[in-house]
Amino acid sequence: MPARAVVLDLDGVIVDTEEVWDRERRAYVAEHGGTWTAAATRAMQGMSSAEWSRHLVEELGADGDPPAVSKAVARMVVEEVRRELPLLPGAVRAVDALAGAFTLALASSANREVIDAVLDGAGITARFAATVSSEEVERGKPAPDVYLEAARRIGVDPTACAAVEDSSNGLRAAHAAGMIVIATPNHAFPPSADALALAAVVVDGIKDVTPELVTSLA
């Protein structure tokens, strides 16, 4: 089936904020009586805000109520991206080109306020027919919920969507939703080999995700 829509992840695909999230979560844990672990970063990649904030409290021992923790960390991330928006090379150009050829949606694990701050800062909010945060669905990645909801909101069957992802849990989520998966591996936190194997194609970054590439994967 030819792709009719493209669903993009945000962190690690459009903007290089995986390290921002990691830094702010570490800071919160350190300042609120918790202990960071070597496995924490990968464990939380793709989790919804409800899931990772519970992880900070229940697994890493940070003080606080998870919803309040989520808001506090997201506020710090928003402050960082408003000071300096770390867009990935070619992101705006790629989004513009894809939006000219396909219906675009966004399926992100980021909090709603972070999604809005990034897209507004990049001037690309209007390119997306729908944007979904995993805090708006029941389960975060690697469950397919956020991708299925994005497809529902734009009225396109998931199997007629191509998804662009960078992380292990994101790749698993898009594949579980039945989408054609394009991998743009995160360099700081590379996906596992088994997750990468779920992709139809692997490219160096969103700059290489062209309408012609998406069409070729039908």
What pLDDT band is residue 88 in, cutting at 50, 70 and 90?
A: very high
CATH of domain 5-16+86-216: 3.40.50.1000
Cα dihedral sign for 72, 122, 162, 185? negative
Q: Residue 187's pLDDT is what?
A: 85
Res. 218 pLDDT band, cuts 50 70 90 = confident
pLDDT 10s digits, 167-185: 999 999 999 999 999 999 9
Confidence of residue 19 (pLDDT cuts 50, 70, 90): confident
**Structural tokens at position 115:** 């999604």
Q: For the chain, what are the domain ranges?
A: 5-16+86-216, 18-83
Element spanning 180, H or E: strand 180-183
Q: What is residue 133's three-state secondary structure? A: strand
Q: What angle do CA 15, 207, 178 make, to 5 degrees?
A: 80
Q: How far is CA 82 from the centre of its chain?
A: 18
Binning pLDDT at 50, 70 and 90, where does residue 1 land?
confident
Instruction: Quote the pTM value.
Output: 0.90
